[in-house]
Structure 1
Amino acid sequence: MTEIKGARVLVTGGQRGLGKAFAAALLEAGAATVYVTARRPVPETDPRLVPLALEVTDEASVARLVEQVPAVDIVVNNAGATIPGGLLGNDTDQVAHLFDINVLGPLRIAQAFAPVLARRGGGALVNVHSVLSWAAGTGAYGVSKAALWSLTNSLRSELAAQGTQVVGVHLGYTDTDMVRALDVPKNDPRDVADQVVQALLKGESEVLADEVTRHFKAALSGPVEGLAVA
C-alpha cells in the first residue's frame, strides 16, 4: 500500500481530462503537493497544484522535470495520444511517433523517477492503460496500449526490490477531450481517479474501472476472436 496523506505526487498530462481528475482526487485524499505537467502548462489557482512543462518524447525535457521535482512519492503516467485509422491506414512514422508518446514516454518517466521513488522508500508508479490493451481492432492506439500493459508488468517486477507499488489502470470510454465527439456511454473521470486512489491505499496492482474492461479481461482466457471490438 502507498500512503497518500502528505505525499508529493507527479501527474503527467495533469491539467485536463483524466489527469486533472487524478490531481483532484489525490489532493482530496491528503496529498500535500501535486505537480501537474502539460506541453504548455497554465497557472493553477490552488497553491498545492504546481504546473510544469513536459514533453514526454524529449529526453532533455524529462531530465529538466527531474531537476524540478527532486522529491516525489507517487508518479502517475497519464499523458498519451491517439491517431485515427487502422494499422494499414497510417504510415510507420505516424505509428512510431504514437509509440514514442504512449510507450517510450512512460518508460522515460519511470526510468527517470525510479531512483527518486527509491530514495523516498518506494512509493508508487501508476500507468494508465486502456481496455484496448486487450480489445483488438482499434489500430495503432490499441497496439500501443497493449505494449504499455506489458511494459507495466515488467516494471512491476523490476521495481519490486525497491518497494515500489506499480498500478496498471484499464478503462473504457471516459469523458475526456480524446473521445468527446463520440456518442457513447462514458466513465466519469473522477470515478476512475477515485478507484485508483483506493488501489494505492489497498496496495493493489490493477484497476479495472468499468464493466466493459472487466469483460475483456475475463475474455483473455478464451479464443482470440473474442477480443475483437464489435
Structure 2
Amino acid sequence: MNISKQVAIVSGSNRGLGKELALELLARGAKVYAGANPETIDLSGAIPLQLDITDPKSVMAAAEVAGDATLLINNAGSATGASLLTGELDDIHLEFDTHVFGTLSMIRTFAPVIEKNGGGSILNILSALSWINIGNSGAYSAAKSAQWGITNALRLDLAPKNIKLAGLHVAFMDTDMTAGIQAPKTSPKDIAKIAIDGIESDLYEIVADDTSRNVQQGLSAGISSLYPQLFE
C-alpha cells in the first residue's frame, strides 16, 4: 500500500499513540481525518472529525464526512483498571463497548466506504494483553482478547472486498494511559512508525516489541509457560 495515496481515519487521535499515528501518516503524505472531540485535536494538516466510537450515530455521521476513506485505524481505547471478579460492571461494560463493540461498529460502518473507494486497509490497535493477563486490569485484557478475536474473524470477511485487516500487538507505551504503571515502556512515536511500516508492507499482523514477541511465542507452549505461578 502506498501511504501517500491514502485517505486515513485515526480514532482517538487527540493524544498518545493516536496522535503519533496521525502525525506519521501526514508525514508520509496521506490525507488524515483525526477522530475525537475536535476541541481536543491539535494536529496541523489533519481534518478534525467528531467521533465517539461507542455512539453509533457519531460513527455514522463520521462516515458521511469521511466518504473518501481508504484506511481506517481503530486506535481509540479505554483503560478502567477494572477487575473482572470485583470491578464495577459499568467499567467492564465500558471496556467492551470501546474495544469490542466500538471497533466492530467502526468496521461495519467504514468497510462499505472503503470498498466503494476501491479497497484499502484497516488496522486494529491490539495489545500484548490480547494474549496474556498479568494479574490485574482483567476487563481490559479480556476486551483486548475479544478485539483480537473479531480481528481474526473479520479479516476473512473483508478479504473478498479488497480490504486487508491487520492487528498491531504492542506492550506498554509511554502515554497518559500508562502513567501509573511501573514497567518498561516504548515510545508511541516509534510504535507509530512500526505500525505504518506494517500497513505499507501489507502485513496482517504487526508485533511491535520484544515483550509482545515473547508472549506470542509463549502461546504455543501452553498455560505452564504463560502462567508459571499457577504451578508453583
**Shared fold (TM-score greater than 0.5)?**
yes
- Report the counterpart of residue 168 of structure 2 in structure 1: 169
Q: CA RMSD in A?
A: 1.6
Runs (4+) of structure 1 exceeding 4 A deviation are none
CA 1:85–1:115: 2 relative to 1, 3 Å: closer
Query: Could you say which residue in structure 1 is the equivalent of 2:207?
Result: 208
- From the superposition, tell whether residues 41 and 200 of structure 1 become closer, same or farther in structure 2 (CA, over 3 Å): same
Cα distance in 1 for partners of 2:170, 2:228 equals 14
SS in 1 for 2:115: helix
Counterpart residue type for residue 158 of structure 2: L
Higher relative contact order (CA 8 A, sep 6+): 1
Partners of 2:49 and 2:121 lie apart in 1 by 20
Q: Do the aligned partners of 2:172 and 2:184 also contact (CA within 8 Å) in 1?
A: yes
Cα 1:45–1:166, aligned 2, differ >3 Å: closer, same or farther?
Answer: closer
- Whole-angstrom CA distance in 2 between matches of 1:94 and 1:44: 28
What's the TM-score once normalised by structure 1's chain length? 0.93
Distance verdict in 2 for CA 1:84–1:110, change over 3 Å:
same
2:34 aligned with 1:36? yes
- Residue pair 1:41, 1:52 contacting (<8 A) in 2 also: no
Pair 1:80 & 2:77 matched: yes
Matching residue of 1:22? 21
Unmatched 5+ residue regions in structure 2?
none
TM-score normalised by the chain length of structure 2: 0.93
Instruction: Select the residue among 65, 69, 75 that pairs with 1:68.
Output: 65
- In the comparison of the two structures, how many residue pairs are matched? 227
Partner SS for 1:36: strand
Say yes or no: does 1:224 pair with 2:226: no
Q: Which moved more, 1:48-57 or 1:204-213?
A: 48-57
- Secondary structure of the 1:187 match is coil
Q: Which moved more, 1:162-171 or 1:181-190?
A: 181-190
Query: Matches of residues 153-192 of structure 1 in structure 2 within 5 Å?
Result: 153-192=152-191
> Which residue of 51, 55, 61 corresponds with 1:54?
51
2: distance between equivalents of 1:104 and 1:51? Answer: 23
Moved more, 63-72 or 84-93: 84-93
**1:124 pairs with 121, 126, 131, which one?**
121
User: Which range moved further: 71-80 or 133-142?
Assistant: 133-142
**Unaligned regions of 5+ residues in structure 1, if any?**
none
Q: Percent identity?
A: 35
